[in-house]
Structure 1
Amino acid sequence: MTTDTLVDTAAPAVSRSGRRRRRARTPRERAGRITAVVALALLGLLVLGAIWIGARGALAAWHLDQAQQKAGGLQATLVENPAAASATIAELRDDARAARELTSDPLWSLAQGLPWIGPQLTAVATVAAALDDVASDVAAPLADAAPALLAALSPADGRIDLAALEAAQPVAVRAAGVAHDASLNVAALPVPALVGPLRSAVEQGSGVLEQLDSATDALARALVLLPPMLGADGPRTVLAIVENNAEWRSLGGLAGSLVELRTDDGAVALGEQASATSLTQYAAPLDVLPAELDPIYDGKPGRFAHNVTQIPDFAIAAQLAQRFWQNDHDVAADAVVALDAVALSYLLAATGDVTLSTGDTVGSGNAVSFLLSEVYERYDDPAAQDAVFEETTSLVFAALFDGRADAAELLNAFVRAGAEGRFLVWNDDPALQSVLDSTTLQGALPASDAGTTAFGVYLNDGTGSKLDYHLAAGASAAWCTRVDGGLATAALRVDLRSDVPADVGSLAPYVTGAGDDGLTVGGTVAGDARTVAYVYLPTDANVQRVRVSAGTATPVGFHDGHAVVQWDVVLGPGEAAHLELVASGTAMGEDLDIAMTPTLHETETSSVGAACATMP
């Protein structure tokens, strides 16, 4: 055998064409290759999907930012200039709709199920949908209804157009429902899980929607309540209490003057008017005052009409005022409202200045200082002081009901006063009163729920003076320990400060409350201000520790399930004092809230951490 016939068995086979034949792959190799191809394809799809979502997300974020900027000023625009609101709403709707469409395609929806990125995408889509709903189903209908509604609030020939108010009810009620749902949907988003910029955007959107929710809810309730209160179903009598904030009471100020407002089919007429101090005083409290309040308030709100606002529950205060008035004037009021001097200044921004028979001009800029300070310097006789207060009230009400008020400013005035607790409403008809459930207009005790734990801080003058014009108050609260569903402790701090001028002699005796002997009815010397504060704990909570920098703090009883602590303190000119309290109970809502007497001024408080640190 020659070497030419030898075959190299190690060499690869060669086809006749000279190309090497490939070795057949095993099933495992073929599967691996397919897996690699699929993986590469999926990776490519993921990259493309990420690019797609990222591009759409960036564009959606821009539209959302534009929409939220427009939504932020929507409430004011609707009231102040409905015609201009239409253009703003159209732009808002375009941006919100674009953001919604960009965040609702199948790929975006599928990606919402992914870890980490999913909640981010869900948040963007939820805010976009909420703003779209608000633009289409809240803002647009209200803008269409606003001109007729504002016109209805301006009386013509002494009569408010009740038919126009009733016609706007369905639109307002539906808008309030949509705004509420939108606000809840955004509020339910897991904000802590969101990245920084998105978290800020969601919080901003939530704030805007919460404001719209509150505003539309107030409007809807007002349109349901106003027609019957204005006599749609027959003549009614509304008793108005005007409070004097220069002498603190729990709900704002001393009941200064009371005036009847007689309504019938939209027409409003002023009836009898009297100062609260002119009404009959009783040796024993009227039976309207619940017995459990006797040890807390010593029966005074049920004995003296000017003290009815000492009770921080307006439903009780209103029924007391109703009875005082009925006993002296033989008129049973169908409803009672209360507003303070600050609220009067808001109304004067709508009516314009009024001129008194004394020649004094009272407007929004000087009403508070004139009614709560200057009048005591100008007039020595308390009867003359009361007359000025009563005449100012009458002139403001007359201006409201004869059509001189600017409707937009009037609406803003009532919204602002209501939000600050300066305008309160009670109806003798339980069905009508239920329309106001859970609103600030009811002036109810602080209510804790699944979302909020609430304290109450209610301030009362104990001097018999008008020095509270010069006092400031503030309060803050913080959790010490908290376990959901378990025990919790929270700290509350209340601060008081006297800005009474050092030259006490420059103040009128009626302001200091001092008699010829230099002492006040509260037993203090001229210039010293005695404050009696009632601190209401959350329902079913207990006092664990309380300490004060001055004065005394004492548990005094319970009011509708709230433990009440009384802080009695006297401050000289320039002095300050604080109370620190720690309460314990079953953990409720995470947000801490403080219902507090609306005053003229507020002061910031120090940290409540000290109270937690010294807790036994």
Structure 2
Amino acid sequence: MVNAADETSARRSGRSAGERRRRWPWVLGGVLGVFVAGAVVVGVLGTVLAREAFEVRDDLVAARASIETLGDAVKAKDAAAIQTSADELTARTSGAADIVAGPLWDLAAAVPQVGANIDAVQRVTLSAKTLVDGALDPGLQIMSAINVENLALEGGGIDLEPFRGAAGSLPAIADAFAAAKAQTDPIDVDALLPAVAEPVSQVRAVIDQTAPTLDVVNRYLPTLLGMAGADGPRTYLLVFQNNAEIRATGGNPAASIIMTVDDGRFALADQTSSATFKATGTAGVTFTTLPPETLSLYPETLTRYSQDYSMTPDFPTTAQLFQDLFNASYGDRFDGVISIDPVVLSNMLAVAGPVTVDGEEINADNAVRLLLSDAYERYPRGTDSDVFFAAVSQAVFEHLTAGKWDPAKMLDALTESARQQRVYLAFTDPTAQALAVELNVDGALPEDTAKTTQLGIYLNDWGVGKIEYHLATVMDARCDADARTMSVSQTMTNSIPDSIQSRYTLTAKAGWYGLPNTTMLIDTLFFAPPGATIVSVDPGDGDVPGLDRAGTEKGSTAVSKLVALAQDETRTVSYTVQFPAGELGPLDLRHTPTASATPVNIDASCAAMFPSS
């Protein structure tokens, strides 16, 4: 899950994936921009201060140049050049920090109006010295040990040895960033002149993003290594959610692969589909017991058929359903269950490059359309499309696990996929699961609103087809702080073209209700957080009598309305939630990911209700 306010903020800031890589050297570069702006301010306070200002500027200009030569030296593995650049960088940042720590700067920082700007320049300059002193040497050790070009193992996998070695260097780097964050946290950006505020904000953003990430990696590196098979083989079920037949957390999860990883080496152990369980006689049988108040929210197929296991927005429940099914079918238990969709594959192929299957190139631009739409036109029978999907899965798996890609770029691709609510993880190891929770990719319905206030609108295909590839959605939310209510709406558009002819794609059940088979039949679920109540829903009644549902899951009350969305129709559904008295955790607005991105717009009126979001 992704905090919806963070999602909106990230989208507005326009930060690219490349800007988030190798962050700590760019902090020093950013300090230069802060200082140049600040120098204009301090210049009015006297010639001595102005002279010192230009001395600091010169030091930071030279420091930035040293960062560039240092990076080149590390790539070239030129030990002498690395040492020279590191010494120059250390000397320059120390010189700048010594100057801004002087009494004249402290005096200037107390001057009304301009003082806050001086203080900001001091803080970011001192934070640069903190990072160089604490993170430079251990950072160089890691950069020298982890050669991106040599990480890939022959036959598929990633060499874990450099990461084992990084365990000794990470604490110092994490501590340096934590200290730098403490130095820059007191800066009130709103009190700064625009020329100073912008570069200060840029530096703080990098530090604020990197410090928590380093803290997580530092604390969980042994766990991450264990997940990669450093302590023995691990087995995972990788579920592919098909957004063309939509489900609450993505889509029909009929296809999956079983993969093993042993000391960083990946292997595809098996591939399965919904047909697998027909052969074992376990399809149509319930192996996981859920509370009656939860079952009342969904069709009775939720616990009986693997195609419907992701109808619940609670991914731990989906994972448990799969674990119990495989245990009943084969006696298998997995170390973890991982869920992704074709958009995730597309994002990964953008980093790893295209793959060829039966002479056809699959790349970042065509993967989603090919897997969610074109394949059904080409292979109108389910058995034929299953063969195609199996071939694609194997080829893409082998291509991605070859590891011949930039890990930083791949991490960015997966981070973006998680932000779009397309990646969910569930592990049997408690520490690994704690990491999934901390990274907000566990996909769980929370049991209270202490840490997060989660609500959302989720979609489940009722019509049986692959028509929702052509579904686009937009979410909007606004609040009434005095009434302690929040209204959430979702606008849905059915843009299926006349050219789609596959009976496998079109809605099979539409004829039951006298509707064209280009109509989407969508069970629309409205969830309130624990302790809150749903006071109104639009539509009040679903479009098909007798299919309205209501219930409770993990303490969250919810209702379901069947919505019929005709070809070329745009329709908005909404609901209003009443919150109980008391403080609310940060807002976490969830939605079902479609084949395209879902814009999420949160009105400023919600800031008063969720100040920590």
Q: TM-score range by the shorter chain?
A: 0.7 to 0.9
Distance 2:86 2:501 in 1: 54
**1:428 — aligned with what?**
428
2:534 alignment counterpart: 543
Determine if contact 1:251/1:312 at 8 Å carries over to the other structure: yes
Is 1:531 the counterpart of 2:522 in the alignment?
yes
SS in structure 2 at match of 1:373: helix
Instruction: Say yes or no: does 1:108 pair with 2:105.
Output: yes
How far is 1:110 from its partner?
A: 5.0
d(CA) in 1 for partners of 2:327, 2:557: 33
* Matched-pair contact (CA < 8 Å) for 1:452–1:588: no
Task: Give the equivalent residue in structure 2 for 1:458.
Answer: 458
Is the 8 Å Cα contact of residues 549 and 577 (structure 1) preserved in structure 2?
Answer: no
Q: Distance in 2 between matches of 1:585 and 1:88?
A: 58
Matched, 1:127 2:124: yes
CA distance in 2, matches of 1:420, 1:511: 25
Q: TM-score, normalised by structure 1?
A: 0.75
Taking a change above 3 Å as real, the CA distance of residues 611 and 184 of structure 1, as seen in their structure-2 partners, is closer
How many residues of Structure 1 are paired with residues of Structure 2 in the alignment?
553
TM-superposed CA distance for 1:448, in Å, is 8.2
- Equivalent residue runs for 1:178-577 within 5 Å: 178-180=176-178, 182-183=180-181, 186-187=184-185, 189-213=187-211, 215-216=213-214, 219-220=217-218, 223-279=221-277, 285-287=286-288, 289-357=290-358, 359-405=359-405, 407=407, 409-445=409-445, 453-481=453-481, 488-501=484-497, 503=498, 506-514=500-508, 519=511, 524-548=515-539, 556-577=550-571
- Mind listing any 5+ residue stretches in structure 1 that lack a counterpart? 1-45
Distance in structure 1 (CA, Å) of the matches to 2:54 and 2:448: 40
Shift of 1:474: 1.9
Q: Deviations over 1:533-564 (max 9, x none)?
A: 33333443333444359957978333333333
Q: Deviations over 1:439-477 (max 9, x none)?
A: 133223369878965433333222222122111112133
* Cα distance change, pair 438–229 in 1 and its aligned pair in 2 (3 A): closer
Q: Indicate if the aligned counterparts of 2:345 and 2:367 stay in contact, CA closer than 8 A.
A: yes
SS state at 2:525 partner:
strand
Cα separation, partners in 2 of 1:179 and 1:611, compared to 1, 3 Å: closer
State the 1:313 CA deviation. 2.6
Work out whether residues 347 and 396 of structure 1, in 8 Å CA contact, stay in contact via their aligned partners in 2: no
Partner of 2:142: 145
Task: Tell me if structure 2 keeps the 8 A contact 1:123–1:189.
Answer: yes
CA contact (8 A) 1:288 1:319 kept: no
Deviation at 1:157, TM superposition (A): 4.7
Amino acid corresponding to residue 592 of structure 2 in structure 1: T
Q: Counterparts of 1:472 and 1:48 in 2: how far apart (Å)?
A: 56
* 285-294 or 342-351, larger mean C-alpha shift: 285-294
Cα offsets for 1:562-587 (capped at 9, x unmatched): 33343432211221122343333346
2:13 maps to what in 1?
A: none
Deviations 1:154-210 (A, max 9, x none): 123555433332222343454345435544664554344444444434433333233
User: Taking every aligned residue pair, what percent have the same amino acid on both sides?
Assistant: 27
Structure 1 residue 59: deviation in Å? 7.8
Quick one: which amino acid aligns to residue 335 of structure 1? G
Pairwise CA distance, 1:54: 6.9
Amino acid of the structure 2 residue aligned with 1:498: N
Q: Partner letter of residue 205 of structure 1?
A: V
Counterpart residue type for residue 556 of structure 1:
A
Q: Distance between the aligned counterparts of 1:424 and 1:209, measured in 2?
A: 27
CA deviation digits over 1:74-104, x for unaligned, max 9? xxx99x9798998999998788656644432
Letter aligned with residue 532 of structure 2: A
Q: Secondary structure at the match of 2:508?
A: coil
Query: Matched residue of 1:279: which SS?
Result: helix
Match for 1:534: what amino acid? Answer: L
Question: What amino acid is aligned across from residue 360 of structure 2 in structure 1?
Answer: D
Structure 1 residue matching 2:296: 3-state secondary structure: helix
SS at match of 1:441: coil
The 2-side partners of 1:565 and 1:126 are apart by 51
Task: Give how far 1:598 is off.
Answer: 2.7
Tell me, in whole angstroms, the C-alpha distance in 2 between the residues paired with 1:440 and 1:324.
26
| Residue 598 in structure 1 maps to residue 593 in structure 2 | yes
Q: TM-score, normalised by structure 2?
A: 0.76
CA distance in 2, matches of 1:525, 1:582: 32
- Secondary structure of the residue aligned to 2:465 is coil
Query: Matched residues in 1 for 2:601 and 2:522: separation?
Result: 20
Q: What are structure 2's unaligned runs of at least 5 residues?
A: 1-41, 608-613
Q: Deviations over 1:489-547 (max 9, x none)?
A: 3332322222222x2x63311111337xx627x88531111223333334433334443
Q: CA deviation at 1:355?
A: 3.0
- 1:540 is paired with a residue whose SS is coil
CA distance in 2, matches of 1:610, 1:576: 26
CA contact under 8 A between 1:477 and 1:592: conserved in structure 2? no
Contact 1:256 1:386 in 2 (8 A): no
Displacement of 1:211 in angstroms is 3.4
What's 2:8 paired with?
Answer: none
1:376-410 per-position Cα deviation (integer Å, ceiling 9, x unaligned): 01012101112211221111222233455555554
Can you list the C-alpha shifts for 1:290-323, whole angstroms capped at 9, x where unaligned? 5542122345432211222222232222222122
Deviations 1:112-158 (A, max 9, x none): 56666554444333333444444554576445424543356412355
| Alpha-carbon distance between aligned partners in 1 of 2:193 and 2:537, rounded to the nearest angstrom | 41
Which moves more between the two structures, 276-285 or 343-352?
Answer: 276-285
Provide the rounded CA distance (Å) in 1 between the counterparts of 2:92 and 2:595. Answer: 42
After superposition, the CA RMSD in angstroms is 4.4
Q: Which has the larger radius of gyration?
A: 1
CA distance 1:546–1:92, change in 2 (3 Å): farther
Which amino acid is 1:429 matched to?
D
- Which structure would you say has the larger RCO, counting Cα contacts within 8 Å and 6 or more residues apart? 2
- Mapped to 1, the partners of 2:405 and 2:47 lie a distance apart of 57
Distance change (3 Å), C-alpha of 1:593 and 1:70: farther
The match for 1:43 is none
Deviations 1:248-271 (CA, angstroms, capped at 9, x unpaired): 222222213121112333333221
Decide whether aligned partners of structure 1 residues 466 and 453 sit closer, same or farther in structure 2, where only a CA change above 3 A counts: same
SS of corresponding position for 1:301: coil
Taking the aligned partners of 2:226 and 2:440, their CA distance within structure 1 comes to: 20
* Structure 1 residues 403 and 195: alpha-carbon distance in aligned structure 2, compared to 1, 3 A threshold: closer
Q: 1:248 to 1:133 in 2, by over 3 A?
A: farther
Return the match for 1:579 from 553, 573, 586.
573
- Residue 89 and residue 594 in structure 1: after superposition, are their counterparts in 2 closer, same or farther (change >3 A)? farther
CA 1:579–1:61: 2 relative to 1, 3 Å: farther
Q: Secondary structure at the match of 2:562?
A: strand
Corresponding residue SS for 2:594: coil
